[in-house]
């Protein structure tokens, strides 16, 4: 496992594309979660075919130690462990003939696999 560090300035730079924001707002509404209080949790967990896998969850509120980032009409929660792997990541929502879903553009990844939801760092 890599020994990455959270950003030195204590900030996490994570962006959600316009299409991704639209989908997140739909999920918040469907779950009945207020975007002023709840939001989207973006995380990283050990696992997947490349070493780590991304996670996305709608949550009612941030955890005490989360980074809380403002997005277009909602908030993003990132836990301290995940922050070291998510700094600079862009989350997008794509639709193609193969289906629709969230994708991750991660400048920290040193490798990945065909599934698009796991990476190496």
Examine the pLDDT at 2 and tell me if it is beyond 50. Answer: no
pTM of the model: 0.81
More confident position, 74 or 117: 74
- Looking at the chain, the whole-number percentage of residues with pLDDT higher than 90 is 58
Number of domains in the chain: 1
Max alpha carbon distance in the chain (Å)? 41
76 lies in a domain? Answer: yes
CA 21 to CA 5: how far, in whole Å? 27
CA 23 to CA 79: how far, in whole Å? 22
41 lies in a domain? Answer: yes
Examine the pLDDT at 6 and tell me if it is beyond 50. Answer: no
For residues 86 and 16, is the Cβ–Cβ distance under 8 A? no
More confident position, 58 or 87: 58
44 lies in a domain? Answer: yes
- Looking at the chain, the whole-number percentage of residues with pLDDT higher than 70 is 79
64 lies in a domain? Answer: yes
119 lies in a domain? Answer: no
- Here the CATH number for the domain that contains residue 67 is 2.60.300.12
DSSP assignments along 77-104, one per residue:
EE-HHHHHHHTTEEEEEEEETTEEEEEE
Query: For strand 89-96 and strand 99-105, is the pairing parallel, antiparallel, or unpaired?
Result: antiparallel
87 lies in a domain? Answer: yes
Domain limits for position 34: 14-110
């Amino acid at each position: 496992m890599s020994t990455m560090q959270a950003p030195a300035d204590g900030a996490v730079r994570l962006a959600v594309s316009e299409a991704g924001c639209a989908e997140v707002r739909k999920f918040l509404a469907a779950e009945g979660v207020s975007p002023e209080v709840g939001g989207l949790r973006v995380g990283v967990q050990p696992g997947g075919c490349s070493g780590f896998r991304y996670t996305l969850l709608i949550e009612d509120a941030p955890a005490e130690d989360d980074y809380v980032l403002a997005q277009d009409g909602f908030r993003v929660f990132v836990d301290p462990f995940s922050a070291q792997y998510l700094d600079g990541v862009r989350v997008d929502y794509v639709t193609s003939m193969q289906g629709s879903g969230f994708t991750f553009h991660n400048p920290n990844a040193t490798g990945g696999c065909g599934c698009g939801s796991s990476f190496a760092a």
